[in-house]
């Protein structure tokens, strides 16, 4: 389907360029906004993969909640005047970049040479319309324990966040 391919390439372009912007741009506010863009594009990618509900959740959780928090925090910090975006140190940076390059090469090489390229969709067990239902049924039967544990994790996060916001921060002075 040529239209699917076009959509994929558009979204891939959007997400990648936004992702690069997150890393490259000096102003963290723009980083955050680019990340929002990435998140939205990733939601689009989820849609192309038929994961409609997850796309919605991606929008609600990431774009609508987590990134709002990031943007809020950054706006309050007001760190516009950041001269160097990256850490200094030639040697370590070379090491880091080399590492990244190697990893990228390894991943790309593996994927390109792998057999995934011609893989067709296996028999569709779940029709797209019933996917959310199936997702729910799976989540509440097989993965119920994880689900409940996540509930407790979120409780701990809430308590931890409150505790952290109360803390006066450290004992020594700068």
Partner 1 sequence: MGKDVFEVTINCIKLIVVFLMMVQAVPILVWLERRGSAFIQNRFGPNRVGPLGLVQLLADAVKFLFKEEFFPENGTKFLYYAAPVVALVPATLAYCAIPLGHPLQYGEYLFRLQGFDVNVGIVYVLGVSGLAAYAILLAGFGSGNKYSLLGALRASAQIISYELALGLSIVGIILLYGTFNLNEMVAMQQGPLSFSFRGHEILVSWLPNWGIFYQPLGFVLFFASIFAESNRLPFDLAEGEAELVAGFHVEYGGFKMLLFFIGEYGHMMVGSGLLATFYMGGYGIPYITNQALWQTFMDWTQDGQLAHILVSAATFAMFSFKLALCLWFFVQVRWTLPRFRYDQLMDLGWKTMLPWALFNVIATALFIFVAHG
Partner 2 sequence: MNHPLLIAVLILAPLIGFLINGLRYQKNSANLSGILATSAAVLSFFVSVILVSEIFSLPQESRKIVVQFFEWIHVDSFRVNFGFLLDPLNSIMILIITGVGSLIHLFSIGYMSHDHGAAKYFAYLNLFLFNMLILVLADNLLVMFVGWEGVGLCSYLLIGFWFKDSQKAAAGMKAFVTNRVGDAAFLLGIFILFLTFGTVQFSDLVAMAPSVAEVSWWGPITLGTLFLFVGATGKSAQIPLYVWLPDAMAGPTPVSALIHAATMVTAGVYMIIRLNPLFLAAPNTMAVIAVIGVLTAVVAACIGLLQNDIKKILAYSTVSQLGYMFLACGVGAFGAALFHLMTHAFFKALMFLGSGSVIHAMHEEQDVRKMGGLKKYLPITHATFFIGWLAIIGMPPFAGFFSKDEILGMSFQSPYGNAAFWALGVFGAILTAFYMTRLMALTFWGKARFSDKLHPHESPWTMTLPLCVLAFLSAVGGWIGIPHVIGELLPGHPENFLEKFLEHSILPILDLPKAMPTMEYLLMGTSVLLAALSAYFAYTMYLLKPEWPKKLADKFRPLHELVSNKFYVDEIYESSLIQPLIQLSKNIWLYVDVNLIDKTTYVVSDLTKGCGGFVRILQNGNAQTYATYISIGIVLILSILLMR
Partner 3 sequence: MYNLNWFSQIGLQHYLLLSSALFICGMAGVLLRKNAIVILMSIELMLNAVNISFVAFSHYQSKLEGQIMVFFVMTIAAAEAAVGLAIMVSIFKRFREVNIRFFERLKG
Q: Which of residues 74-113 bind partner 2 (CB under 8 A)?
A: 87, 92, 95-96, 99-100, 102-103, 106-107, 110
Smallest gap from Cβ 72 to partner 2, in A, equals 23
Query: Collapsing DSSP states into helix, strand and coil, what is residue 25?
Result: coil
By CB under 8 A, name the one of 125, 129, 145, 152 that touches partner 3: 125
Q: What is the rounded radius of gyration, in angstroms, for the C-alpha atoms of the chain?
A: 21
84 contributes a contact to partner 3 by CB under 8 A: yes
For the CB of residue 86, give the shortest distance to partner 3 in the complex, in Å.
5
Selection from partner 2, partner 3, partner 1, none that 121 binds (CB < 5 to 8 A by kind) is partner 3
Closest to partner 2 by CB, 6 vs 100, is: 100
* Separation between Cα atoms, residue 30 and residue 36, nearest integer Å: 10
94 touches partner 3 (CB under 8 A):
no
Exactly one of 20, 23, 24, 65 binds partner 1 (CB under 8 A); that residue is 65
Residue with tokens 């996540």: 150
Could you say which of partner 2, partner 1, partner 3, none residue 102 binds, taking C-beta under 5 to 8 angstroms by partner kind? Answer: partner 2
How many chain residues touch partner 3 (CB under 8 A)?
87
Tell me the two tokens of residue 161. Answer: 């966040």
Least separation in angstroms between residue 39's CB and partner 1 is 10
For residues 22 and 74, the answer to whether their CB atoms sit within 8 Å is no
Contact indicator for 67, 23 with CB cutoff of 8 Å: no
81 Cα distance to chain centroid = 26
Is 71 an interacting residue with respect to partner 1 (CB under 8 A)?
yes
Backbone angles phi, psi at 14, to 5 degrees: -60, -50
Question: For the chain, first and last CA: distance in Å?
Answer: 61
Is residue 61 a contact residue for partner 3 (CB under 8 A)?
yes
Distance of alpha carbon 116 from alpha carbon 1, whole angstroms: 18
Give yes or no for residue 72 binding partner 2 (CB under 8 A). no
């Amino acid at each position: 389907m040529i239209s699917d391919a076009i959509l994929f390439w558009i979204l891939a372009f959007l997400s990648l360029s936004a992702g690069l912007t997150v890393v490259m741009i000096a102003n963290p506010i723009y980083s955050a906004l680019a990340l929002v863009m990435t998140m939205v594009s990733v939601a689009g990618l989820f849609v192309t993969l038929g994961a409609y509900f997850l796309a919605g959740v991606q929008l609600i959780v990431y774009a609508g909640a987590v990134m709002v928090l990031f943007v809020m925090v950054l706006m309050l910090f007001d760190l516009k005047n950041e001269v160097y975006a990256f850490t200094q140190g030639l040697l370590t940076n070379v090491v880091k970049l080399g590492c990244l390059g190697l990893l990228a090469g390894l991943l790309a090489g593996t994927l390109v040479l792998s057999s995934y390229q011609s893989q067709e969709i296996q028999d569709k067990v779940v029709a797209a319309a019933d996917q959310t239902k199936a997702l729910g049924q799976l989540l509440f039967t097989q993965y119920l324990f994880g689900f409940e544990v996540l509930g407790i994790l979120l409780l701990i996060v809430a308590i931890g966040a409150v505790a952290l916001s109360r803390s006066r921060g450290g004992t020594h002075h700068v």
